[in-house]
Amino acid sequence: MLTRSRPLLLVVAFTIAAPSGVLCQSATAPTTTRVVMLGTGNPNTDPERSGPAVAIVVGTAVYLVDAGPGIVRRAGLAARTDSIAALATPNLDRVFLTHLHSDHTAGLPDLIFSPWVLGRTKPLDIYGPPGTARMANLLEQAYSADVAIRLRGGEPSNKTGYAVTAHDAKAGIVFRDSNVTVTAFEVHHGKWEHAYGYKFKTRDRTIVISGDTSPSDAVVKACDGCDVLVHEVYDAERFKTLSAAWKAYHSVYHTSTRDLADIATRAHPRLLVLYHQLFWGGDDAALLQQVKTRYTGSVVSARDLGVY
């Protein structure tokens, strides 16, 4: 681990994963695993759908996937209204990034600094594809004046919770503790050199999150009968109304309802959960109808704060 010090006592540690990619830490003993949708949106400005963010909650431990805009407030709301104590703001101390698109990372400064202001004492652990450590470093620089004032300007504050440990992880097992083993796998997301899906295996459930991807055999292999498959999707019928340029883009960056139905048929999850939905004027019912014409398993179209 490389620890970097700056003036103003700002410290961010950047760790390049070892060849095995395994980082082991202790955590609370597992109980029932829950999947909480903190954000099901995308760059479109739908106030009912925060940016992409998912929480895997195992007992009192929480593992976040992506940091779309609104993640901290959505987590706080889930902690209060759904009594999911692990999602209390000071507990948000670990996140796995699927890729570095802005709609998946624009909430990262909020996740770094707001929980610290509200009582988190542990540094934020960030795992993601190459470029993750650089992004964390630049955010540290951008918010250095804020941190200096909070540390020395008279505001009560702890001296550790603003720090970040960022890991440029390789595909494979990227994290393991007593609750969960987390495996990153490569998916194809247009021109991104590295984009990951994640598989979370706990004692009672296996959960796969696709991240942003075009149709991928890697998702099928990772799921292979998993309990929950959380997968992005776009409306195949509304796609026909797009301009040629947007058709070309979405066809190589994302997955249609029809393609997702075929993926789910081969992956056979116990529950398929749609998120990052691209509606283009459609709705959840239309997405579900399109998927169900080709897929006979259980499927839901997620809304923010849905728990599965």
Residue 143 is predicted with a pLDDT of 96
Per the structure, how many domains does the chain have? 1
**Cα–Cα dist 40/212, whole Å:** 12
Torsion-angle region of 88 (φ positive above 0: left; ψ -120 to 50: alpha; else: beta): beta
Q: Is residue 307 part of a domain?
A: no
**Cα–Cα dist 19/173, whole Å:** 10
Residue 82 is predicted with a pLDDT of 85
Dihedral, CA of residue 222, residue 85, residue 92 and residue 195, to nearest 10: 20
Domain that holds residue 248: 2-301
Q: Is residue 156 part of a domain?
A: yes
Residue 77 is predicted with a pLDDT of 95
Q: Is residue 264 part of a domain?
A: yes
Catalytic residue among 93, 103, 177, 235: 103
We report the CATH number of the domain holding residue 240 as 3.60.15.10
Instruction: Select from 198, 203, 200, 199 the least CA-distant residue to 178.
Output: 203
* 103 carries an active-site annotation: yes
Q: Is residue 161 part of a domain?
A: yes
**Cα–Cα dist 81/148, whole Å:** 34
Residue 119 is predicted with a pLDDT of 95
pLDDT, tens digit, 9 for 90 and up, residues 204-227: 999 999 999 999 999 999 999 999
Q: What is the mean pLDDT of each run of 10 residues along the chain (308 residues)?
A: 31 36 40 92 94 96 97 95 92 98 98 97 97 96 95 92 96 97 97 97 97 97 98 97 96 97 98 97 96 97 97
Q: Is residue 308 part of a domain?
A: no
Dihedral, CA of residue 257, residue 261, residue 262 and residue 268, to nearest 10: 150
Q: Which residue reads 């055999």 in tokens?
A: 217
